[in-house]
Amino acid sequence: MLSSTRILSLLSAAALVYSHPVGHDSHDHVERGSLLSILGIKDWAQPRGHPVEKLFERQNAGAFNAANYPSGNPDATAMPDAWKQALSQAVAAGKIPKIVQTKDGNYPSDVDPNSAEICASAFQCRYTDGPLPDIWDAPDGMLGVSFDDGPTPASPKLYDFLKSQNQKATHFFIGGNIRDNPDIFMQAFNNGNDMAVHTYTHRWMTSLSNEDAMAELGWTMQIIYDMTGGRVPRYWRPPFGDSDNRIRSIARLFGLQQVDWNQDTDDWEIANKKLTLAQIEASLAKFISGPKSPGLIILEHELYPETVEAFVNAYPLMKSSGWDVRNIPDLFGAPYYQNAQDNTGAVTQSTILSGDVAGAGPAASNSSSITVSASRAPSSTVSHSAAATSSGISNSQNSANKPNGASSLVVGPVGIVASVIGAFIGAFML
């Protein structure tokens, strides 16, 4: 018969086994102790207690209810208190740069958007400093497939095609569109594509206050989190390519890494008759037939039937031209989410919070750790796209002064181990 003291000792040992990281695999995630490995439990996520857990509490554990989410521009005063507190602490700690707000992406004439202090991505400034640099290029020979502005009524045809080709894509979704098209959103998710953030109402982010920017990102992450079984998005793309060091710092409070692009189809212009389907397809063919260094990240949209058709028609050329076609995380061997490897793997019971980057860049998997008390706010290593082929934002989105446009399996893993040991002890004692 085992004594109660012995049983407690075994349970304590189980806790130590779990808490001691023993190594990293090729995705640079932490594997837990050998007992969990024996049990087949693997942690693809941020460790329990990671600060991102604090920002998102599950809003809707039952059936989807659109009333749980803003119906228009989010009201920053109605944000969850945890988001307000995270922002307030970051500002007080000097982690959010004091950069002037723009007017639809336009800075005052005496402000240099390409300075290291500002580094406006709509002006082709690439933030390359720190663990979460902007992603603009795919690795050589690779083509990153992503789509903006969904989900829309035009999206299902795209999703059906991607599924038929066994092709994964990254969807930079607008939160309000998810609210209005939840079934279409779920089609994309159930097909295995990764869900990313394109803000809630597609506003010029640099024109917003800190609080409004926080709400735009937070509510989009919240609705994705609620609808995907608690997955926390890893990537975001600023509308119009409009971001700077202030906005990047706010995005990092949610553990988000910014993804831009190095080629732009301007496909959305088809709606106002400025471009034809043939012209969009010609642009795609030119990009696809061009050099394979750097790799391609092409800006495309799932807005209209024509924009979907342009991609569908170009896809065979992508494959026949020898491109390795992947979604954004697969370009870098990274998990799809901050707390889950993909749409079917284990998910930590997390929420969303952060404050300073302590994770890794695109090539590593644990790239979303942020703590308010850690490092300084970003000051950029400024890098500009020299090639004329690189476009920061769609032409019609440009302003006159923009020359280029622009894991844990459950909440208590120790509890799982303790339960298994307890069951073993019980059997032994019998």
Q: Which residues are catalytic?
A: 148, 301
Distance linking the first and last C-alpha atoms of the chain = 9
CB-based contacts of 373-377 (< 8 A; 24+ apart in sequence):
373/93, 375/130, 376/94, 376/95, 377/94, 377/95, 377/96, 377/97, 377/245, 377/249
Angle formed by the axes of helices 155-164 and 305-320, to 10°? 20
Q: For residues 368, 371, 377 and 383, what is the CA-based torsion angle, rounded to 10 degrees?
A: -10
Structure-block tokens of residue 206: 């640099």
- With a CB cutoff of 8 Å and minimum separation 6, the contacts of 400 are none
Q: Are 310 and 265 in contact (CB under 8 A)?
A: yes
Q: In whole angstroms, what is the distance from residue 22 CA to residue 423 CA?
A: 25
Structure-block tokens of residue 139: 């690795």
Angle formed by the axes of helices 245-252 and 210-227, to 10°? 40
Q: In whole angstroms, what is the distance from residue 72 CA to residue 107 CA?
A: 26
- With a CB cutoff of 8 Å and minimum separation 6, the contacts of 70 are 175, 176, 179, 200, 215, 219
Decide: helix, strand or coil at residue 129: coil
Largest CA-CA distance found in the chain, in angstroms, rounded = 82
Q: Are 175 and 151 in contact (CB under 8 A)?
A: no
Please give the backbone phi and psi of residue 94, each rounded to the nearest 5 degrees, phi first.
75, 20
Q: Are 24 and 30 in contact (CB under 8 A)?
A: yes
Tell me whether strands 146-148 and 382-384 are parallel, antiparallel or unpaired: unpaired
Per-position DSSP letters for 335-371, written without gaps between them: -SBSSBSSSSS-B--------SB-S--TTSS-TT-B-
Q: In whole angstroms, what is the distance from residue 215 CA to residue 200 CA?
A: 8
